[in-house]
Amino acid sequence: MKKVSILLAIACILPIFTACKHDDDNNLSDAPEVKTLELKDKALKLTFADTKAPYTDVVLTETGKAIISLRPESEPAATRANIYVPDYIYGTYEVKENIYTIYDSNKKFVCHLQVNSANDVITSTTIYLNSQVSEGVTYAVQALGKVSDSDLTIDLCRNWNIVHTHITIDGAVKASKVFDVPEAPSFNAILDYAKEKAPQLKAELPADMVITDVMFTQAGSFIILFKNGKIFVGNWGWKNEKTGEFSYSWDGDEKIYSYESGKATFTVETYKKVKYYTLTLSASVIDGGKTYNVNIAFNLEEK
């Protein structure tokens, strides 16, 4: 079964959380220092229902990143066997008053977005594909509100690097390892290790499945970027904010990944006497009659 190898390699879509502690100190009030989010009040997530709009969704993060989901020329029926996965533009944005200017990853102009409001509620967005702000077309939009405005949410909603990855396999095999950079964000390295411990795992991954960015936004977006250009974009929300547990669901640009939702936790943990924000995921699956329990914890640093 491919599920085990995908599970071990694509840890961000593991479905069930269990604790994976490296120190008894798990005090969120004693968290690592992070930057002030200068664009916190400008971040948005917009959804375009109009099929004539060139985009289906626009995510503008608190850290100045822009992710645009392009509308396809035609959308096949969304079934388990044929799940439509959109193409994305990833870049940055600048904002002045109610006009957002978006650039791609090569700093090439993409569009201007003018956000239009009524009674402090965003009702429509005018898209200008001309850099001179002319000939815009206005579309109705739905703007998502904030998941919450707590300190924990604000701390989570950043652009992260993975600096250490702790993996523990228990069940049919027992093994554990800590990956440091540059292997820490590499799913290829994690899968190679899993195959070493469980040789029956046969599935392969595309090259360079190395996470370059992990991002969350207060509007409920969850974004994973890979070195090879692949991207996963989805939604998240608190399941138990007091314990740092949240749920998420997403689409990816690889149809082989059929997982649609999961749970994770965001906590502060200590490794080698350094405190890190830590994203922890785990799952239990059966492959070939053997059970594997996998815990993966990512120590994060703000990018």
Instruction: Give pLDDT, residue 259.
Output: 40
Domains of the chain (ranges plus CATH)? 3-35+152-302 (no CATH), 44-144 (2.40.128)
Provide the percentage of residues in the chain whose pLDDT is more than 90.
45
Q: 23-32, 66-75, 177-186 — which is least confidently predicted?
A: 23-32
Q: Which residue has the higher pLDDT, 127 or 26?
A: 127
Element (H, E) at 187: helix 187-197
Confidence of residue 39 (pLDDT cuts 50, 70, 90): very high
User: What pTM was computed for the model?
Assistant: 0.80
Contacts of 167 (CB under 8 A, 6+ apart): 8, 175, 176, 177, 178, 179, 190, 193, 194, 294, 295, 296
Other CB atoms within 10 A of residue 92 CB: 17
Confidence of residue 28 (pLDDT cuts 50, 70, 90): low
Residue 6 has pLDDT above 90, yes or no: no
For the chain, give the mean pLDDT.
81
pLDDT tens track for 233-275? 888 899 899 999 988 876 544 433 334 457 789 999 999 999 9
pLDDT tens track for 156-175? 999 999 999 999 888 777 88
Q: 114-123, 163-172, 194-203, 209-218 — which is least confidently predicted?
A: 194-203
CB burial class (10 A; 0-12, 13-18, 19+) of residue 74? exposed
